[in-house]
Amino acid sequence: MLGLAADRLRADMNRLLAFLFHQGILDEQFLQLQQLQDESSPNFVSEVVNIYFHESEKLLRSLRSLLMDREFSDYNRMGIHLNQFMGSSSSIGANRIRNVCVAFRAASEQNNRAGCLRALEVLEHEYCFLKNKLHELFQIQQQRVLAAGVRYPMQN
Amino acid sequence: MGLKLKQSYHHSAVAVKVNEQMGTKRGYTFIQSNRAWLPKFLLLWVMVMAFLSTWIYKKMDADNKVRRKEVLSTMCEQRARMLQDQFSVSVNHVHALAILVSTFHYYKDSSAIDQETFAEYTARTAFERPLLSGVAYAERVRHSEREKFERQHGWTIKTMKREPSPIRDEYAPVIFSQETVSYIESLDMMSGEEDRENILRARATGKAVLTSPFRLLGSHHLGVVLTFPVYKSKLPPNPTVEERIEATAGYLGGAFDVESLVENLLGQLAGNQAILVNVYDITNSSDHLIMYGNQNQEGDLALLHESKLDFGDPFRKHQMICRYHQKAPTSWTALTTAFLFFVICLLVGYILYGAAIHIVKVEDDFHEMQELMVRAEAADVAKSQFLATVSHEIRTPMNGILGMLALLLDTDLSSTQRDYAQTAQACGKALIALINEVLDRAKIEAGKLELENVPFDLRSILDDVLSLFSEKSRKKGLELAVFVSDKVPEMVMGDPGRFRQIITNLVGNSVKFTERGHILVKVHVAENPKPIDDAKAETCLNGGLDEGALISGGRQFNTLSGYEAADEQNSWDSFQHLVTAEALQNDASVRMTDADEAFQSVTLMVSVEDTGIGIPLIAQDRVFMPFMQADSSTSRNYGGTGIGLSITKCLVELMGGHISFISRPQVGSTFSFTTAFGRCKKASLSDTKKSNAEDLPSGFRGLKAIVVDGKPVRAAVTRYHLKRLGMLVEVANNVKIAASACGKNGSSYGSKIQPDIVLVEKDSWLSGEDGSLSLRMLDCKQNGFKLPKMILLATNITNAELEGAKAAGFADTTIMKPLRASMVAACLQQVLGTGKKRQPGKGILNGSSVLGSLLCGKKILVVDDNMVNRRVAAGALKKFGAAVECAESGKTALKLLQLPHSFDACFMDIQMPEMDGFEATRRIRMMESQANEQMNGGADEGSGRKDEWHLPILAMTADVIHATYEECLKCGMDGYVSKPFEEENLYQAVAKFFKTKPISDS
C-alpha cells in the first residue's frame, strides 16, 4: 500500500514538474538545482527556494512602492531591483519570471510607467503562481519523504 | 542585464561615432557650401557675358561709324573744294571778260566790240568757263536814252517775257551775247526779279554777285546767274556806292547751270555712286534753297556732312551736304565677333557650371556613401550584437530541450523511443554547435574577435584535439596521429583556443570525410623550405627504384597508413628528410635555439593530411566560402553546414597566416596552413608551464625503447611521442631486427642499446612470425637478460586478437592509438610499475568526478549580492567537495581576502551594487602585487609557499558576449563561468587552475 502511495506521489511530482517545464515556468536550471541536493544537504532545494521567496517578496514590495510613488522617477533603482530579481530567478530556473523581468526592465529603461505597472502586475501574478506550484511540489516531496521514512525502517 | 547594458552602451557608442564622422566630414569645399548659388552664378555669368559682348559689338560698330563719317567728310570736302575752285576760276574769267568789255567797248572811241566779235571771242574762250552755260553783256540804258538806244540798235527793249518793255527808270538790255545764249539778246535784264536784284547789288558793290538759284531760261535747269558790273570811267580809289552806280556802264552776266555743272564735276570723281550730294543756297537761313540734288530726302538720313562753299559772293552763302546713298550696312564682323565671344563665354560658363555641379554631386555621393558606410558598420555591429543575443536566447531553450532529453533518456524507454530521443539530442547538440559557429563567424566578420596572446603548449593542445576525435577515428578504424617537429618551440605565444578551433575544424572535417586510411597532423617550422626541395630532387632521382612493395594488388605508399595521400610532399621521402635533418641539427640545437631566440616570432607550418574522399575539382575553388559544400549531397551524407572551413580561413588569416589545400578526389586532401606565433621568453616560460601546460611525468627519462614498425612515418610518430617523455628510441623495421637487437646486445647488429621497452605495431606483429618472436624472447630470458616490456600498439583490436597478443607475449599492455604523450605515459607507468598511481586521466573518468577531484578540499570564496545565487553557487561547489565561504558584497570579499588568506579561488559576480566585480578584482590584484613586491624585497628566494600571491578569480556572469570576457581579463580575472552554473562550463574554467595540482601533490 505504502509503496503504491510512494509511486503515486512520484508520478504526481513528475507530472507537476513536467507541467511546469512544459509551460516554461521552470527551466533546466531547476533540475541542476535538484541535482545539487544530496544526503549532505537534503533540504537544499526547498532552502534555496525559500530564500528566493523571501527575497522576491521584498523585491516585489519595494518595486510596488517605487511605482506607487506619485512623483516617481527612480528608474535606476528599479533596474537594480529587477536585476536582482532576474539573477535569482535564473538561478533557481524560474524561467517565466525571468522573462517577465526582462520585459519589465525594458519598460523601465524606456521610462514607460504604464508598461512598468502592467509588467509588475504580470510579475506578481506569475510569482504567486510559481509560489503555489512550488509549494505544491514541496508538499508532495515532503509526503514522499514521509512515506520513505515510514518504509525505510520496515526495510531495515 | 549585462547584455542589455552592453547593447545600449554600444548603440550610443555607434551613434557618437556617427556624429563624429559627420562632424569631421562636414568640411565642405567652397563649391559645396555655395551650392544653392550655382545656378545664380551661371545666370550672372551669362548676363555679364551678354553685356560684355554687346559692349564689344557697340564699340566695333562705333568705330565703323566714325570711319564712315570720316570717309564721308573727306569726300564731301573734296567735292566742295573742287566745286569752289572751278567756280572761282569761272568767276575770274567772267571778271576778265567784264574788264575786256569795259576796255574795248567803252574806252575805245569807237567800240572795238560788236556782237560778232563778242560772240566769237566768248565762244573761243568758252573752255575757260566750263561752268557757265553762256555769258552776255547788258548795257545800262536810262529811260531818257531809250529811244536813242532803240534807234541805234534797231530793236526795242523787251522784257523777259519777250514783250516790249514798259517804261522804267532804267533798262539793261543785252547787247552782246555768246551764241549759246543768243536768245536773250535785246531782253531787259532788269525785268527779271533775280537779275534786277543782282544788277543793283553788283553795281553797288563792284564785285561779282550771284542770284539765288532759279530755273534758267531755255534749259530749265537750276542755275544761278553771275553778274559783274562794267564801269565806263575809271573809278576813284575807294569809290562810294553812288560813284559806282553813276559810273556803271553795263553788266556782264553769266548763267551757271549748277545742276549739270555739279553733275560733270562729280562724274570725274571716284565714289560718286556711294554718296549723295546736295548743294544749297543758305542765304536765307530759314529757307534753304536747293541748287543741286534731289529735293526728296533719300539715302542715309542719319549721317550727313556739311561743307561750306564760298563762291566769292559775300552776300550769298552756300553749302554742300553729303550723305551716303545707302544706310550704313550692318557690321557683320562686329556682330559675329560679339556673338562668337558670347557663345564661347556661354560654353565656358556652362562647362564650369557642369563641373561644379559634378563636384557637388560627387561630394554628395561621397557623403552619402560615408553615411551609408557608417550605417553599414553600425548595422554590422548591431548584427553581431543581435546574433550574440539571439544565440544566447536560443541556447537557453536549447539547453532546456537537451536537459529534458537527457532526463528522458534516463527513464525507461523502448528502444525505438530511445533511438528517437537520442536522435533528437544529437540534433540539438548539432544545432548548438551550429549556433556557436555562426556566432563565431559573425564575430570575425564584425572584427570583434580579438586574439589572445598567451603562452601555451602546442603539443598538448594537439594531443587534446586528438583525444577528442580518438573515439570516432577508432570506430572508423582510422589511424590518427600527430607529429610535431623538434624545432617547434615547446611554448609559443598565441591564442590556444583559436588554434585548437582551427585544428579541431580541420581534423573534424578529415574524420568526417575519411573512411579508411589515416589522418596525420604535422607541425614544423616553415622557415626552412630547402631540405624539402632537396628531398624532392632525391625522390625524382629515385623515382624508378621506389621501395613501395605491392601488397594485395595495390601499391603501398609510404604514408602513415600506407594509403596514398594527396600531397606527396608529406610522404615519407620528405618526412624522413625532415626527421634526419632534425637529428643532424640536434647537436647544434643549443646554438640554434640561442640564435632562434633572436627572432620574436616563429612561423609554423601545420598540415592535416587525410585519405578521405577528397574534394571534387569543381568545388575546390569555393571550399572556403561560407555555407558552400562540395555539393548538396555532401550535407545529406555527412552533415555539417559548410561554415567551418570559412571560419578556419578567417581565423588563420587573423593569426597572420594563410591556408591552402591540395586535394585529389578519392585520394584525399591535405590542408596546410601557416601561423605566426610569438616566442616565449625564457623567464615566463617556467612559470606558465606549471600552471598552463599539462605536465608530463619525468620518470621515463633515459629509458630505452625499440619501436617495431614497418612504416617509417608511423614509427616516426611513435618515436616523437616517446621522445617527448624523454626516452631514447630506436626504430626497427620488423620484429626480427628488434629481437636480435635485444638478443645480441653490443654485437655486430648495430643497435647498442639494451631496451627497456619494445613497442610493436599490430601490423608488424601480425605480419611477422610470432613464433620466432616468442622464441627469441625466451632466449633472452634464458640468457639472463632483463626482459624488455612488450607493448602492442593498435588502432583497433578485436578481442580475439587481444587474446592472441597476450599469448604471443604482449602480456604487459596494449596501447590504443591515437597516441598521446600523457596517455602513453600513463600506460607505461602502469606497465613499469614505477609506483605512481594511475593519474585520473580525463578520458577515462567522467567530468563530474574529475571536477570533484579538482575541487575537493579547495577553499572557495563566492561573492554575490544575490542571496539566491550565492546559495546556489555555494551548493554547486559544495557538491564537488569544495569548502565554500560567501560574501555578499565586494567590500566583504576584500576584507576576507586580506593577505594572508587561505582561499584557493574566488568566484566573483560582476554586477553588484557599490563595488562591482571588476573593481573588487582590481583591488584584490593591487593588494596582491603590493604583497608580492614586499615579499620579493624581503626574501629573494621564494619561501616554502607559492612564490607569488595570485588568487584565481573567476567571473560569474549571465552574459556570453566575448567583450565582457575581455573586460574580465583586463581587470585581472582569470576566467569566467556562466551563470547559472553548468557542470561542463565550471569544469573548463576550473580545470585551468587546478589541473596540475593533484599530480604535483602526489
B94-100: Cβ within 8 A, 24+ apart: B94/B129, B94/B132, B94/B135, B94/B208, B94/B226, B94/B228, B94/B252, B94/B254, B95/B208, B95/B228, B97/B122, B97/B125, B97/B135, B97/B228, B97/B252, B98/B228, B98/B229, B98/B230, B98/B252
| Distance (Å, whole) CA A135 – CA B536 | 77
Question: CB B980 to CB A105 under 8 A?
Answer: no
Contact A47 B979 (CB under 8 A): no
- Identify residue B831 by its one-letter amino acid code: V
- Tell me phi and psi for residue B348, to 5 degrees: -60, -45
Peptide bond into B166 cis (omega under 30): no
Which helix (H) or strand (E) covers residue B331, if one does?
none
CB contact under 8 A, A83 and B911: yes
To test the contact with chain A by mutation, choose from B8, B409, B848, B871 the residue with the greatest count of A C-beta atoms within 10 A, namely: B871
Q: Are B311 and B318 in contact (CB under 8 A)?
A: yes
> pLDDT over 90 for what percent of chain B?
4
Interface contact B425, partner A, CB < 8 A: no
Query: In B783-896, where do the E strands start and end?
Result: 789-794, 813-816, 859-863, 883-887
Best to test chain A binding among B394, B401, B865, B866 (most A CBs inside 10 Å): B866
C-alpha cell at A43: 533540504
B9 contacts chain A (CB < 8 A): no
| Most confident residue range from A132-136, B213-217, B423-427, B883-887 | A132-136
pLDDT at B353 over 80: yes
For residue B7, the model assigns a pLDDT of: 43
The answer to whether residue B879 scores a pLDDT higher than 90 is no
Is a pLDDT exceeding 60 seen at residue B106? yes
Residue B746 has pLDDT above 50, yes or no: no
Residues of A within 8 A of B875 (CB-CB) are 33, 36-37, 41, 44, 48
The set of residues, in sequence order, having a beta carbon less than 8 Å from that of B189 and lying 6+ positions away, is: B138, B172, B173, B174, B195, B196, B199, B251, B253
Reported as a pLDDT band with limits 50, 70 and 90, residue B342 is very high
pLDDT tens per residue, range B108-157: 767 778 888 888 888 888 888 877 778 888 888 888 888 888 888 888 88
Inter-chain residue contact A32 with B980, CB threshold 8 Å = yes
What are the angstrom distances between the C-alpha of B515 and each of A32, B472, B711?
39, 11, 20
- Confidence (pTM): 0.41
pLDDT, average across residues A110-134: 87
Cβ–Cβ under 8 Å, residues B458 and B497 = no
| pLDDT recorded at residue B369 | 93
Q: CB–CB of B657/B675 below 8 Å?
A: yes
How confident is the model at residue B341, as a pLDDT? 92
Of A31, A38, A40, the CB nearest to B403: A31
Q: What is the pLDDT of residue B48?
A: 92
Which of residues 53 through 82 in chain B touch A, CB cutoff 8 A?
none
In whole angstroms, give the CA distance from residue B248 to residue B139: 9
Cα–Cα distances in angstroms (integers) from residue B604 to residues B462, B519, B523, B657, B733, in the given order: 14, 19, 7, 9, 30
Mean local confidence (pLDDT), B733-741: 68
Q: Which of B523-532, B662-671, B711-720, B789-798 is predicted with the least confidence, judged by mean pLDDT?
A: B523-532
Burial of B566 (0-12, 13-18, 19+ CB in 10 A): buried
| Contacts of B15 by beta carbon, 8 Å cutoff, 6+ apart | none
Q: How confident is the model at residue B47 (pLDDT cuts 50, 70, 90)?
A: very high
Q: What pLDDT score does B55 carry?
A: 93
Least confident of B261-275, B558-572, B730-744, B803-817: B558-572
Q: How many other C-beta atoms lie within 10 A of the C-beta of residue B993? A: 20
At residue B1 the predicted structure's pLDDT band, cuts being 50, 70 and 90, is very low
pLDDT of residue B579: 58
Question: Of the candidates B333, B329, B343, B328, which has an alpha carbon nearest to the alpha carbon of residue B53?
Answer: B343
CA–CA gap between residue B837 and residue B562 (Å, rounded):
37
- CB B419 within 8 Å of CB B484: no
B676 and B603 in contact (C-beta within 8 Å)?
A: yes
Collect all residues of chain A within an 8 Å Cβ-Cβ radius of residue B909: 87
Distances (CA, A) of B902 to B93, B271, B942, B951: 158, 133, 18, 10
Whether the pLDDT of residue A17 is over 80: the answer is yes
Backbone angles phi, psi at B756, to 5 degrees: -90, -30
Average pLDDT over residues B416-436: 80
Q: How confident is the model at residue B592 (pLDDT cuts 50, 70, 90)?
A: very low
Shortest Cα distance, chain B CAs vs residue A48, angstroms: 6
- Which region among A40-44, A45-49, B578-582 has the lowest average model confidence (pLDDT)? B578-582
Q: From CA B556, how far away is CA B563, in angstroms rounded? A: 7
Question: What would the DSSP string read from start to end of B586-609?
Answer: HHTHHHHHHHHHHSSEEEEEEEEE
Confidence of residue B629 (pLDDT cuts 50, 70, 90): low
What is the model's pLDDT at position B571?
A: 55
pLDDT attached to residue B984: 67
Nearest to B995 by CA among B688, B680, B690: B690
CB pairs under 8 A between A and B: 86
In this structure, which amino acid lies at residue B978? S
Assign 3-class secondary structure to B240-305: CHHHHHHHEEEEEEEEECHHHHHHHHHHHCCCCCCEEEEEEECCCCCCCEEEECCCCCCCCCCCEE
Residue B204 makes CB contacts below 8 A (sequence gap 6+) with: B241, B244, B245
The label of the residue with cell 558606410 reads: B373
Cell numbers at B909, concatenated: 559576480
pLDDT at position A12: 82
Residue B52 is predicted with a pLDDT of: 92
Among B368-377, B470-479, B776-785, whose mean pLDDT is lowest? B776-785
B420-445: average pLDDT: 76
Burial B819-833 (b: 16+ CB within 10 A, else e): bbbbbbbbbbbebbe
More confident residue, B61 or B768: B61
Q: Which of B547-556, B635-644, B846-855 has the lowest mean pLDDT?
A: B547-556
Average pLDDT over residues A146-155: 54
Question: Mean pLDDT, to the nearest integer, of A103-125?
Answer: 85
Mutate to test the interface with B, among A34, A51, A91, A109 (most CBs of B within 10 A): A91
Higher pLDDT, B544 or B727: B727
B-chain residues near A42 (CB < 8 A): none
**E strand or H helix at B785, and its extent?**
none
B430 touching chain A per CB within 8 A: no
Residues linked to residue B166 through DSSP beta bridges, in sequence order: none
Name which of A2, A52, A53, A30 is nearest A155 in CA terms: A2
Whether the per-residue pLDDT at B634 is higher than 70: the answer is no
Question: Is residue B340 scored above 90 in pLDDT?
Answer: yes
* Strand runs labelled E in B576-667: 601-610, 659-664
Q: Work out the number of other CB atoms within 10 angstroms of the CB of residue B783.
A: 11
Q: What angle, 0 to 180 degrees and rounded to 10, lies between the N-to-C axes of helices A113-155 and A2-22? A: 160
Mean pLDDT is lowest, of B502-511, B641-650, B936-945, for B936-945
Q: What is the SS3 assignment for B525?
A: strand
pLDDT interval class at B989 (50, 70, 90): confident
| Mean pLDDT, rounded, for B876-903 | 81
Of the listed ranges B95-104, B337-346, B818-827, the least confidently predicted one is B818-827
Q: Tell me, what's the pLDDT at B51?
A: 92
Instruction: Say how far apart CA B523 and CA B671 lie, in whole Å.
Output: 12
CA B653, chain centre distance (Å): 24
Distances (CA, A) of B856 to B726, B859, B864: 32, 9, 22
Task: Name chain B contacts of A27, Cβ cutoff 8 Å.
Answer: 396-397, 399-400, 403
Mean pLDDT, residues B12-39 taken together:
58
Which is nearest to B207 in space by CA: B288, B35, B92? B92
B980 with A93: Cβ contact below 8 A: yes
Residue of B nearest to A17 (CA): B404
Higher-pLDDT residue of B340 and B159 is B340
In this complex, do B865 and A93 lie within 8 Å of one another by their Cβ atoms? no
CB B305 within 8 A of CB B69: yes
Q: What angle do CA B217, B218, B220 make, to 5 degrees?
A: 75
CA angle B178, B179, B182 (to 5 degrees): 85
Model ipTM over 0.85: no
C-alpha cell at B989: 574554467
Q: What is the mean pLDDT of chain B?
A: 74
Q: What is the DSSP string of B121-177?
A: HHHHTGGG-TTEEEEEEEE-EEGGGHHHHHHHHTS--B-TTSSBPPP-SEE-BEEEE
Residues from chain B that touch A109, judged by Cβ atoms under 8 A, are 4, 8
Higher pLDDT, B305 or B681: B305
In contact, A47 and B871? CB cutoff 8 Å: yes
Host H or E run for residue B495: none
Q: Cα-Cα-Cα-Cα dihedral of B900, B903, B908, B912, to 10°?
A: -50
Contacts of B912 (CB under 8 A, 6+ apart): B863, B864, B865, B889, B890, B920
Q: Report which of residues B108 and A150 the model is more confident about.
A: B108
Question: Is A9:A139 a contact under the CB 8 Å cutoff?
Answer: no
Long-range Cβ contact pairs of B742-746 (< 8 A, separation 24 or more): B742/B706, B742/B776, B742/B780, B742/B785, B742/B788, B743/B776, B743/B779, B743/B780, B743/B783, B743/B785, B745/B785
CA angle B577, B583, B584 (to 5 degrees): 90
pLDDT at B1000: 36
Q: What is the pLDDT of residue B489?
A: 82
> Which CA distances in Å does B14 have to B10, B403, B831, B940, B995?
6, 38, 63, 50, 42
Cβ-Cβ contacts under 8 Å for B649 (sequence gap 6 or more): B624, B659
Least confident range of B166-170, B587-591, B797-801, B920-924 = B587-591
Query: Please, what is the Cα angle at A51 between A50 and A54, to 5 degrees?
Result: 85
Residue range B748-759, pLDDT digits in tens: 444 445 667 777
pLDDT of residue A5: 67
Residue B697 pLDDT greater than 70, yes or no: no
Bridge partners for B252 per DSSP:
B137, B228
Residue type for B458, please? L
Confidence (pLDDT) at B567: 63
* Distance of residue A27 Cα from the nearest chain B Cα, in angstroms: 6
Model pLDDT for residues B906-915, shown as the tens digit of each residue:
888 877 777 7
Q: What local confidence, expressed as pLDDT, does residue B837 receive?
A: 37
Confirm or reject contact between B856 and chain A (CB < 8 A): no
| Per-residue confidence (pLDDT) for residue B640, from 0 to 100 | 58
C-beta of residue B574 within 8 angstroms of C-beta of residue B605: no
Neighbouring CB atoms inside 10 A of B349's CB total 18
